[in-house]
Amino acid sequence: MRLARPLAASTAVTALVLTLGACGSGSGEGADGDATIKIAYQKFGNFTQADELFKDVKAEYEKENPDVTIELVPIEASQNDYFTKLALMNRAPGTAPDLMYEDTFMIKSDVEAGYLLPMDDYLAEWEDWGQFVDQAKQAGLGDDGKTYGVPMGTDTRGLWFNKEVLAKAGLPEDWAPKTWDELLEAARAIKKADPDVIPLNVYSGKPMGEGSTMQGFEMLLYGTGGTLYDTGSSKWTVGSQEFVDSLDFIKTIYTEGLAPTPQQALDPNVGNTVSAEWLPQGKLGISLDGSWMPGTWLEAGTAPWPEWTDVMGTAAMPTQEGQAPGAVSMSGGWTMAIGSGSKNPDVAFDVLTHALDKENSLRFAIDNSQIAVRTDVAEEPSYSEANPTVPFFSDLVEVTNFRPATSDYAQISNAIQVAMESVMTGQQSPEEAAAVYDKAVIAQVGEENTTNG
């Protein structure tokens, strides 16, 4: 796990499409009739592993298939802006990609928008498809039950902590909070021991986009026993005390100075700062973050840190009062999808199978510190040897939760980010922000599609 401010005017949309169009002449055939496959993906800050993968895939595939040209379109943007730019590419035939790097939570909304091609007929003929675990396959399904995305990896979330920082605060190397109060007490001890250290990072606000919603808010909400969406009734939850409690946690860490300053937290690059600077430099004690973090610190990462295995510790995020199951996590991940406008879908799928074969999937899982979604990759000794935290984060799958698999989730996520930001900046109380959120949900989905928590 690594949305966007709406563009203010149609001229901005036009300009962006024209800019993206300058990257190439569009998917299809070149002047000599050979196939051109355009791959669009995110490349931002420390999040560059997909870039390395696709560069290698391009070199390998073009060497084996001289009649195919792979055009890489790295989109250098934060997560919110990446989704917006990818949507703009998909709206114009000249810029629409053949293959795209697709977050699992965007699958259903992009299917509804008509951007993605169902792959069931292709997958039925791909012998490797049986290596993908069933749970991971579910993430690529549309509302029609068809598969629109092939998983590249998945993840879980928990607490990363700098052992040296915690030691100065009198906390043990095997620190493992059992409740929110114990987590807050640890943060207060860190602040008291060294006021210059940021005690606790919980992503919050609009600039971090889905990172705020998923790593931050939903890790809190699902730890209260609450939920965003009642799957039994297929309705969104409003009027929830658990929602207020989650916002109150955000209020506590910001009003007590246990978190980064609002200015720091609202920097779109704060995720990169956390992994590449604050944690390695001992400027941050605890971060509620993802299993992918070591991808930055490995030798091939953007900020190699050989000592991370000795300095960093992990703990499960506790439930609010320590109630069963005792811990909470969230899971997401990325997929590869075929654009519905591709003029060469057969070739695009062949490129996809090359990119996600065992060898490349193993490399992606190791370099990106992903939880493997292929059985044969998970069984490779080199996979577990590369990252000692793999067993810990894999075990969190037992207590993990998933985002609502609905086409309107993206809009709901944005409303959550607004609520978090208004609380962290002191503009609204948790109760006021929750009430505004409830109104936004009702306006988005209709009151008949909501239920009181």
pLDDT tens digits, residue range 392-414? Answer: 999 999 999 999 988 899 899 99
Q: Is the pLDDT at 25 greater than 60, yes or no?
A: no
pLDDT value at residue 405? 82
Would the pLDDT of 23 be above 60? no
Rounded distance between C-alpha atoms, residue 12 and residue 15, angstroms: 5
State pLDDT tens for residues 278-299. Answer: 999 999 999 999 999 999 999 8
Largest CA distance in the chain: 69
Q: In whole numbers, what is the pLDDT of the chain averaged over residues?
A: 91
Domains, the chain? 10-155+333-397 (3.40.190.10), 157-331+406-452 (3.40.190.10)
Tell whether the model's pLDDT for residue 32 goes beyond 50: no
Is residue 14 scored above 70 in pLDDT? no
pLDDT of residue 79: 76
Return the pLDDT at 309: 96
Q: Are 115 and 327 in contact (CB under 8 A)?
A: no
45 pLDDT band, cuts 50/70/90, is low
Question: Residues of the chain with pLDDT > 90: what percent?
Answer: 82
Examine the pLDDT at 355 and tell me if it is beyond 50.
yes
Q: What is the reported pLDDT for 16?
A: 36
Cα distances from 151 to residues 129, 134, 281, 289, in angstroms, run: 10, 11, 34, 21
Q: Identify the pLDDT of residue 120.
A: 98
* pLDDT tens digits, one per residue of 138-161: 999 998 999 999 999 999 999 999
The backbone torsions φ and ψ at residue 375, rounded to the nearest 5 degrees and listed phi first, read -60, -40
Look at 70-84, 159-173, 307-321 and tell me which has the smallest mean pLDDT: 70-84
Residue 88, pLDDT above cutoff 80:
yes
- Secondary structure string (H, E, C) spanning the chain: CCCCCCCCCHHHHHHHHHHHHCCCCCCEECCCCCEEEEEEEECECCECHHHHHHHHHHHHHHHHCCCEEEEEEEECCCHHHHHHHHHHHHHCCCCCCCEEEEEHHHHHHHHHCCCECCCHHHHHCCHHHHHECHHHHHCCECCCCCECCEEEEECCEEEEEEHHHHHHCCCCCCCCCCCHHHHHHHHHHHHHHCCCCEEEECCCCHHHCHHHHHHHHHHHHHHHCCCCEECCCCEEEECCHHHHHHHHHHHHHHHCCCCCCHHHHCCCCHHHHHHHHHCCCCCEEEEEEECCCHHHHCCCCCCCCCCHHHHEEEECEECCCCCCCCEEEEECEEEEEEECCCCCHHHHHHHHHHHCCHHHHHHHHHHCCCECCEHHHHCCHHHHHHCCCHHHHHHHHHHEEECCCCCCHHHHHHHHHHHHHHHHCCCCCHHHHHHHHHHHHHHHHCHHHEEEC
| Confidence (pLDDT) at 46 | 59
Confidence at residue 188, expressed as pLDDT on a 0 to 100 scale: 98
**Residue (of 296, 350, 309, 307) closest to 125 by Cα position:** 350
Residue 20 pLDDT > 80: no
What does the alpha-carbon distance between residue 213 and residue 225 come to, in Å, rounded to a whole number?
17
Q: What is the mean pLDDT of residues 177-182?
A: 98
Please tell me the predicted confidence (pLDDT) of residue 189: 98
Per-residue pLDDT band at 77 (split at 50, 70, 90): confident
Cα angle 380-56-353, degrees, rounded to a multiple of 5: 65
More confident residue, 10 or 319: 319
pLDDT reading at 118 higher than 90: yes
Above 60 in pLDDT, residue 444? Answer: yes
Place 73 in a pLDDT band, splitting at 50, 70 and 90.
very high
